[in-house]
Amino acid sequence: MRITVLVVPAVLIVIGLMLWGTESYPDRDVALVHETHTAAETSNAIRDAMLDRKRVAVRYAKKDVVYDPKLSLSDEQKQTFAEFMARRVRLSRAALAKLEAEENSVARELKIAQALANIEIEQTVADLVRRGDFFVTPGYIREARHTEECFFANVQFEGNIVYAPIDLTEFPGVAWLNKRRDEVQAFALADAGYMWNSKPYDERRRLVDEAEALATEVRATSAELLDLEGVQEPTAAQQERLDELRGVTARQATAQGRLPRGKLDVATLEWRNQ
Q: What is the pLDDT of residues 120-155, one digit of tens each?
A: 999 999 999 999 999 998 888 888 889 888 999 999
> What number of other Cβ atoms are within 10 A of residue 230's Cβ?
8
pTM of the predicted structure, to 2 decimals: 0.68
pLDDT bracket for residue 237 (50, 70, 90): very high
How far is the C-alpha of 145 from the C-alpha of 128, rounded, in Å? 18
Closest listed residue to residue 18, CA positions, set 139, 157, 160: 139
pLDDT bracket for residue 22 (50, 70, 90): very low
Beta strands in the chain (DSSP E): 3-7, 19-20, 30-34, 55-59, 64-67, 135-137, 150-157, 160-167
Q: What is the residue extent of each domain of the chain?
A: 3-67, 75-189, 199-274
